[in-house]
Amino acid sequence: MRHTLAQLDALSLEEAQALPFEERDALLDLIIADGRKQTTTLDSYRTGLYGDYFEEDLLRMLKVRAIKVFARGTTASGFDGEIVGDTDEAQYRATFRHLQTTLEAADSSFSRVVTLVIFLTDMHKWSLLNEVYREFIPNPPCRAVIGTTGLAQPPLRIEIVNCIAYRVAS
């Protein structure tokens, strides 16, 4: 049986935490979707790219035994230290693939990301970043993109400095 948020709200903490993992996991997706907020309903150029804020309902998160996942700064530098990609586009994709690997290792995914902070060395590549971003990010988290003059290794063109996602404890 798939529960609704109203049904979750009616359950005691003990009853909710006793639900099977699959039920709690499905409820986490509903909780995250419900917490994503926009300041206005007006359309803007950024529609679909990011949310304005995220309301973390701690009681609901506790009921499904949600765990917050913080991913470290992620770049196009592979786990072996070698930079992947000679172009901005290749580095952007490599960076998102590396973050995807980290999220999957933490039993999470891009659909459960609620916050992203990205550094770019060339803000003129904003539209290119957004193209690649759309390939990986299904739900708009809170996002900031900040221009910088350089990163830890000079050939790097992007770093996802902060990523917050969730998963359910087994």
The CATH number for 12's domain is 3.30.1330.40
Question: How much is the pLDDT for 43?
Answer: 64
Look at residues 92, 98, 97, 142 and name the one whose alpha carbon lies nearest to residue 116: 142
Host H or E run for residue 36: strand 36-37
Structure letter (DSSP) for residue 110: G
- pLDDT, residue 48, reads 60
Domain count of the chain? 1
pLDDT tens-digit readout, 34-43: 999 888 777 6
pLDDT tens, 122-150? 999 999 999 999 999 988 899 999 999 99
User: Count of CB atoms within 10 A of residue 102's CB?
Assistant: 18
Query: What mean pLDDT do residues 44-48 have?
Result: 60
Flag whether pLDDT at 47 surpasses 60: no
Residue type, 58: L
Output the average pLDDT for the chain: 93
Query: Which of 152, 92, 96, 142 lies closest to 122, judged by CA?
Result: 92
- The answer to whether the beta carbons of residues 29 and 109 sit under 8 Å apart is no
Domain that holds residue 101: 5-168
Q: How confident is the model at residue 19, as a pLDDT?
A: 97
